[in-house]
Amino acid sequence: MRRASDAERERLHETFAALCRIESPSGRERACADWVAGELRRMGLEVDEDDAGPRVGSNAGNLLARIEGAGRDTILLCAHLDTVPLTAPVEPVRLDDGWENANDGILGADNKSAVAVIVELARRLTEAGAGPPPVGLELLFTVCEEVSLLGALAFDVTRLRSRFGYVFDHATPIGEIVIAAPTLHRIVGEFRGRAAHAGVRPEHGRSAIAAAARAIAAMRLGRLDSETTANVGTIRGGTAINVVPERCRVEAEARSVDRGRVEALATEMIDHLQDAADAAECDLDVTVERMIEGYRMRPRAIQVTVAEQALLACGYEPRHILTGGASDANAFHAAGLPCTNLADGTEHNHEPTERISTTALEGLLEVAIALVDEAGKALAGETAP
């Protein structure tokens, strides 16, 4: 398949900027979903929206569209419509070498670079005279990825025909292929102490905040090894400065590519919560939830080798990596669909300095085009006599 033309690359930038301007923090993806669905329908594609929205707390559901291929096999390309919460309006500006937000906030390249690439790939494959691609495509746009992959987890994977799939959702240089991603446990501790006047009868009180602080101080947090991290994300409690706080809530996470390691770490963190509650004579309720299931794929799995060939065809050196970040690929793996997360070239995602270079955005489109070609070759080779 021919490389992208100058006109296609410029259209990609226009689509990316248009998407970034549409505010779509998790739970409020409606406008972005409508824009994407409208573009795909104007290409002649049928777009189906599922009922995940109300179930995951969003005003939109997951979108699915299909492009029939010349062969019998199909692959999935997936991107998420939501972003992390906004701290400033998004006004994308194209500088000499890339895109940034003119305001002090995220750009939304995570994951609108991938959304734009998939939309423009679909436009290329449906233009007059294009002919069917060598392999069929299922295009999936999910909601609420940034809040524990809720949209992908709610999607009915049995609806898909795909042999395997790809998400473009790792904010590192293009060429990196994620072959292992973590299991994540959410741990919530609710401390219950005893309220008392902080200036008159402090000795009668039992401070839930002091207990929580003791627990957090005892925990091993941050990067514990190359595959394992722990974090306390929120702590909330108390009513006033002159009241010994009766209640405090701590929310934490433990994640690791090694499932045994994350189980042991979660247990260790729970033990610190209980020890601190006992020392402060507080009661404690703990809930633990496995939010995300990790995976580790074979380096020679077909979807990995197809990605390697596509990257090489576009001039990138493939590199296998492990990651501490989860993506929709985790959800699809857990549901039985092999799915590979590919680096998208985004820089500083989730930060006010988020950006993506012109080279990376255009390169991602070339990789997506090459994936279709290489998947067609690999799957045709499987069925050849």
Q: What is the set of active-site residues?
A: 82, 145
Instruction: Please list the alpha-helical segments (H only) found in the chain.
Output: 6-21, 30-42, 52-56, 109-126, 150-154, 208-218, 259-279, 302-313, 328-334, 358-383
- C-beta separation of 76 from 337 below 8 A: yes
Beta bridge partner(s), residue 342: 168, 177
**What tokens were used for 342?**
């590919």
Cα separation, 333 vs 317, whole angstroms: 25
For the chain, counts of helices (H) and of strands (E): 10, 17
- C-beta separation of 98 from 355 below 8 A: yes
Q: Which residues, 6 or more positions from 183, have their beta carbon under 8 angstroms from its beta carbon?
A: 255, 256, 257, 259, 262, 290, 292, 293, 294
Cα separation, 338 vs 336, whole angstroms: 6
* Longest pairwise C-alpha distance within the chain: 88
Q: How many CB atoms lie within 10 A of CB 240?
A: 8
Q: For 347, which DSSP code?
A: B
Nearest CA among 279, 260, 164, 139 for reference residue 212: 279
**Dihedral, CA of residue 372, residue 378, residue 379 and residue 384, to nearest 10:** 140
**Phi, psi dihedral angles at 306 (to 5 degrees):** -60, -45
Peptide bond into 111 cis (omega under 30): yes
Cα separation, 274 vs 279, whole angstroms: 9
Helix, strand, or coil here: 243? strand
Helix, strand, or coil here: 101? strand
